[in-house]
Amino acid sequence: MSAAIIDGKAAAQALRDRIADEVGRFRSATRRAPGLAVVLVGEDPASAVYVRSKGKATIAAGMESFEHRLPADTSEEHLLALVEKLNHDPTVDGILVQLPLPAQIDESAIILAIDPDKDVDGFHPVNAGRLATGLPGFVPCTPLGCLKLLQAALGDLRGKEAVVVGRSNIVGKPMALLLLGADCTVTLAHSRTRDLPEVVRRADIVVAAVGRPGLVRGEWIKPGAAVIDVGINRTEGGLTGDVDYPAASAVAGAITPVPGGVGPMTIACLIRNTLVAAARRDGHLLPA
């Protein structure tokens, strides 16, 4: 048996098309476009690529994109002042500061400075707290994209055993909370987990967000399980995920490829979060 491939590219395009339609209705109702400000400090090539794709996707959805490129030696004070300005700019609905930041800038100080209601990345502790307590807020884009892919592939997730490997604030922890919110029974595994293969073997849903190429082996996967591979690892053979794809896809029921799985959904969810931010600020009602 070979797994169904979860096509993140197609799912992301469908979501982006829906958002673009809704942006059209937002613009007619409010006479303005939702705006996303993206801040890039320094010249990290991978970050520059992400920022470019985010800007393009924002414009394609009919939104305003404000790009702020700052030199690598920008001081923390300077960046804080820019964030403060964006917090008060009425044309800006969402603010995203591309991580990682250069060493002289304390990332958590910057995240804390962003207005939680413009924090479309969902990294502010207020939004992490809202997610943990089931209040409306902003959910980090990558785990939100994973949840949407799982719901599209499996339908109702209620009662399923989910194992998330990796406990970062950006992916693993919010992923576990989203799955819990969808009524899964959730295990959050990490580098100190005892007998990871055995833990993964009981999962109906496996989400791997580790950053180690091929860590999750095919023989760890329960036959028929859904496997979401968040990992993006640059190896000599090209981009690979955290799951041993050839072996896992022979056992799993459904699996995301790398690239073309989770990655495209991350940007689509950023666009979605920006529209939601604009709609909340303007009291515009969005469809469920």
**Integer CA distances (angstroms), 230 to 50, 68, 168, 186, 208, in order:** 16, 28, 12, 17, 6
Task: Candidates 21-29, 41-49, 106-114, 205-213: pick the segment binding ligand NDP (CB under 6 A).
Answer: 205-213
Q: How far apart are CA 176 and CA 236, in angstroms?
A: 31
Stretch 2-41 residues interacting with ligand NDP (CB under 6 A): none
**Is 75 labeled as ligand-binding?**
no
Query: 167 among the known binding-site residues?
Result: yes
**Which lies closer to ligand NDP via its Cβ, residue 82 or residue 232?**
232
Q: Is 228 annotated as a binding residue?
A: no
Q: Which residues are paired to 94 by β-bridges?
A: 36
Question: Omega of the bond prior to 143 within 30 degrees of 0, cis?
Answer: no
Whether 54 is catalytic: yes
Return the bridge partners of 169, or none: none
Rg (CA), the chain: 19
Residues numbered 246-265 forming contacts with ligand NDP, rule: CB under 6 A: 262-263
d(CA 287, CA 26): 11
Is 222 a known active-site residue? Answer: no
* CB-based contact 204:161 (threshold 8 Å): yes
CA distances from 82 to 126, 202, 270 (A): 20, 48, 21
* Number of amino acids touching ligand NDP (CB under 6 A): 26
Q: How many CB atoms lie within 10 A of CB 72?
A: 12
> What 8-state DSSP symbol labels residue 255?
E
Of 37, 69, 41, which Cα lies nearest the Cα of 54? 37
Among 32, 87, 233, 250, binds ligand NDP (CB under 6 A): 233
Catalytic residue among 54, 160, 173, 222: 54
Contact 219, 146 (CB under 8 A): no
Segment contacting ligand NDP by CB under 6 A, of 41-49, 90-98, 211-219, 243-251:
211-219
User: Among residues 33 and 196, whose Cβ is nearest to ligand NDP?
Assistant: 196
25 is in an annotated binding site: no
The C-alpha atoms of residue 213 and residue 26 are separated, in whole angstroms, by: 42
**Residue with nearest beta carbon to ligand NDP:** 168
Residue 151 annotated as catalytic: no
- Residues 137-176 binding ligand NDP (CB under 6 A) are 142, 165-168, 170-172
Judged by CB under 6 A, the residue of 96, 97, 196, 221 near ligand NDP is: 196
* Smallest gap from residue 98 Cβ to ligand NDP (A): 12
CB of 29 to ligand NDP, least distance (A): 31
Annotated binding site: 166-168, 232
Catalytic residues: 54, 98, 121
Annotated binding site for NADP(+): 166-168, 232
Which residues contact ligand NDP by CB under 6 A?
142, 165-168, 170-172, 189-193, 196, 209-212, 215, 230-233, 262-263, 266
